[in-house]
Structure 1
Amino acid sequence: MIHRLLCLLLLWLSGASLATADERLHYPAREMDGEAPGRLVIHGALDPTYARPILADFHARYPTIDLTYRNLDTLPLYRRFLEAPGEVDVLMSSAMPWQYRLANDGHAQPLNTPEARAWPAWARWRRELFAVTFEPIVMVVRRELIERFGRPASHADLLALLQRHPEVLRGRVVTYDPNVSGAGYGYAIEESRLSPRYWDLIAAFGATDTALAATTGEMLEGLIDGRFWLGYNLLGSYAREVVERHPGLEMVVPDDYTLVTQRLALIPRQAPHPDEARRFMDFLIGKAGQQVIARETSLGAVHPALTGPGTAWALRSSHGDALRPVTLGPGLLATLDDLKRQALLTRWQREFTRHQASLAPTASQDDATRPADARQ
């Protein structure tokens, strides 16, 4: 049970990845007069599509540093680090609870630089763990649904839509399965704390035979080919780029509340090249690196001085208090508690199957008269 919990929770957000795991990017050092060569090794659970512009800009600024980036899923990344904590200089992961656990357990070294001291308090833990992106959790809707029923702008709108049109929408909605997706499980925990109507929404999903998926990529594929009309709780940074390429889709940032997840970076205490690691972290949380994130990716820049498109400021300006970033603090460790996990998943399954249970035949009925699926 503990091993299964580890495997599931370490999929937190990695389920949205659109890339093959364990890809490697290498930027060899160039010799320059008067500058000593350096080396930097980064392990990240970040698709190379998004990592490449950040790394390329850093290497252009510091060409004498031999830079290696290895893209790993969150489980291999975490395991590999614990097995060999002295092989990597910077660790970046979307698995927020596990990054927090590493820092809390003493695996991160502090970054005492002006950039670190200026970083927003809500986006760091001490000066050891830094949130470097701002990624909303969104809905993606096909135009057919909007034209027929209107645009669901909030969770309340979505609930009303599901309750009013269960037959039309039967099998046309998709969301995460929290039993197999760490992302879906994490979002379920956060939403159950945020909204008193959350369990009504799960019951409505069950009543419309909502499809359950393991990844954002899987949901997007079904939305693109028209199997689904609405996807719920997709990672916005990945969804945005797909929606921009497919005019039949629209991304909806709910205006009542919207979870925001963040990728966390740290310098391991045993980093073999600490000077280069500090230089990269300063770049990553500095204005230059954050401008690359805002300009060349859909990850969302956090730097408080940046106010244009692709920034947390822009998203806050358009959605205000509806944005609810996952809190970077001890509460993250609650998601790793086995008893709490089992309790939440048990209730989730009960609510999702509430409609089927209400239609189940009574024990007095002859077994031969029951629907086939009730006899199985």
Structure 2
Amino acid sequence: MTVSTPRSSSQPKLRMFARYATVGVASALALTLAACGGSAPAGSPAPENSIAAGQYPKYYPADYKELVAAAEKEGGELTIYSNTDQENWAPVFRDFKKKYPFIKDISANNLGSDEVFQRVLSENATGSSPADILVTNAAGAWADFAARGDVLTQYSSPELTKVPEFANLLPGVTAMSADAMTITYNTALMTEAPTGLASLADQVKANPSQFQDKIGIRDIKSAFGFTIFHALTKDKPAAWDSLATILPLSRPESSSATEKVLAGEYAASALVSAAPAFPVVKDSGGLFKIALPDDGTVVLPRGLGIAAKAPHAATAKLFMDFTLSAEGQQAVQEGGLSSFREGVKPVEFTYTYADIVKEVGEEDIISVPYEKVSEAETAAFTERWNSLKK
């Protein structure tokens, strides 16, 4: 992957986020992005995360210990509905339990990105839902869900004063991570490493028969696929030209399809979150690699909210605070998601948000807003997409 020089951005909110994220980044990065796709030297272990149990920053409310006491009375349980893998959660749960030793049982399922909301609404309609926390990166579905008005706890974390504005996604919804969408590719099947959709499209044009049915692409019928490609084409209209070449030869995928790229069923796949892709990079012996698109890298925040009827509401508030804290963001990074907080120590085979900014530059970062897309805009996008597949 090629490291490019950051350029100025026309997006004010993103500019502020990027400036925040890049403070001190030179000292944090080890300049091994091109070699191993991450900010820590190859072979380096995950940094030890020091957890200060029973201690809280000075900017926390004076009565914060009362919230902790209320959580302890809830029995040490927490139920999370999410679309997040267990390997991503593992360090977060480990360190949250260190912070609060009375937490004994955290249950987290792995649903579809918009299935999280469907299940909660269905359960509430027939009785009550056991969900305390909801975590998913389905931006549009979050906006729809939050608009109902009676489904989320309107809790304002004290950590919101210490993180970028970007982390405050919606009233009652905060970001847990900010994850980049990448192009994955099989090095044995590509004549040269793709650097973006345009680069991939150029190779397809040069030898279309080589790529027939050999490109995986996220299906826009899913909330996730629609969200990332709609954001890409809205911010970078030139992406439609690349898609016009790629789509006719591609196959829709409801998942990252990393195993198909690794096995050679696909030469490449787009757009794939870095989180599930990096473990494959690590274990592939150089056969599987990823690229941050230099013609537009979509960054999708992973939203976290507390259910209005959370059975363990106090514990859920502690968890939201923890995921935004310096301790929690380090654990998020160790789990393979992208932390956006300043001062996070580099972890091999991961990107921090600062890494992403450093590699592609502010101008080519597309931050997905948590807002509803109108029916007319959705229909127009879908019609254009489908017309290119023929």
TM-score, normalised via structure 2 length: 0.72
Match of residue 233 from structure 2? 192
Q: How far apart in 2 are the matches of 1:127 and 1:213?
A: 32
Given the alignment, which residue of 102, 105, 109 partners 2:148?
105
Residues 222-231 or 304-313, more deviating = 304-313
User: Is residue 307–residue 313 contact of structure 1 (8 Å, CA) maintained in 2?
Assistant: no
Match of residue 211 from structure 1? 251
SS in 2 for 1:264: strand
- Within a 5 Å distance, the mapping from 1:1-376 to structure 2 comes to 37-74=75-112, 75-82=114-121, 83-84=123-124, 87-106=130-149, 107-125=151-169, 128-146=172-190, 148=191, 150-178=192-220, 180-207=221-248, 209-216=249-256, 219-246=257-284, 247-294=286-333, 296-306=334-344, 308-309=346-347, 310-321=351-362, 322-328=364-370, 332-334=371-373, 337-353=374-390
User: Is residue 306–residue 313 contact of structure 1 (8 Å, CA) maintained in 2?
Assistant: no
SS in 2 for 1:250: strand
Q: How far apart in 2 are the matches of 1:181 and 1:234?
A: 14
Shift of 1:139: 0.6
SS in 2 for 1:140: strand
Greater RCO (CA < 8 Å, at least 6 residues apart):
2
The code of the aligned residue for 2:95 comes to D
Q: How far apart in 2 are the matches of 1:338 and 1:265?
A: 25
Pick the structure with greater CA Rg: 1
Shift of 1:126: 5.2
SS in 1 for 2:135: strand
Q: How far apart in 1 are the matches of 2:92 and 2:259?
A: 27
SS in 1 for 2:210: coil
* 1:140-164 deviations in Å (ceiling 9; x for gaps): 1111244x3x222123222222222
Shift of 1:80: 2.6
Counterparts in 2 of 1:60 and 1:144: CA distance versus 1, 3 Å: same
Q: How far apart in 2 are the matches of 1:307 and 1:273?
A: 31
> How large is the RMSD of aligned CA atoms in angstroms?
2.2
Q: How far apart in 2 are the matches of 1:168 and 1:80?
A: 42
Q: How far apart in 1 are the matches of 2:140 and 2:107?
A: 22
* 1:309-359 deviations in Å (ceiling 9; x for gaps): 44212222222212212123xxx211xx44433332222121222xxxxxx
Shift of 1:196: 2.5
Shift of 1:131: 1.0
SS in 2 for 1:69: strand
SS in 2 for 1:132: strand
SS in 1 for 2:372: helix
The code of the aligned residue for 2:184 comes to V
Counterparts in 2 of 1:55 and 1:185: CA distance versus 1, 3 Å: same
User: Is residue 120–residue 304 contact of structure 1 (8 Å, CA) maintained in 2?
Assistant: no
Q: How far apart in 2 are the matches of 1:138 and 1:164?
A: 22
* 1:14-43 deviations in Å (ceiling 9; x for gaps): xxxxxxxxxxxxxxxxxxxxx755433322
Q: What residue ranges of structure 1 are gaps of 5+ in the alignment?
A: 1-34, 354-376
The code of the aligned residue for 2:385 comes to W
Residues 48-57 or 61-70, more deviating = 61-70
User: Is residue 137–residue 224 contact of structure 2 (8 Å, CA) maintained in 1?
Assistant: no
Number of residues of Structure 1 aligned to a counterpart in Structure 2: 307
User: Is residue 204–residue 352 contact of structure 1 (8 Å, CA) maintained in 2?
Assistant: no
The code of the aligned residue for 1:350 comes to S
Match of residue 18 from structure 1? none
Shift of 1:133: 0.9
The code of the aligned residue for 1:352 comes to K
User: Is residue 101–residue 333 contact of structure 1 (8 Å, CA) maintained in 2?
Assistant: yes
The code of the aligned residue for 2:324 comes to I
Shift of 1:102: 2.6
User: Is residue 92–residue 331 contact of structure 2 (8 Å, CA) maintained in 1?
Assistant: yes
Q: How far apart in 1 are the matches of 2:274 and 2:184?
A: 9
User: Is residue 134–residue 299 contact of structure 1 (8 Å, CA) maintained in 2?
Assistant: yes
* 1:49-98 deviations in Å (ceiling 9; x for gaps): 21122112211221213433231413442123223366332211122222
Q: How far apart in 2 are the matches of 1:319 and 1:206?
A: 24
Q: How far apart in 2 are the matches of 1:175 and 1:79?
A: 25
The code of the aligned residue for 1:70 comes to A
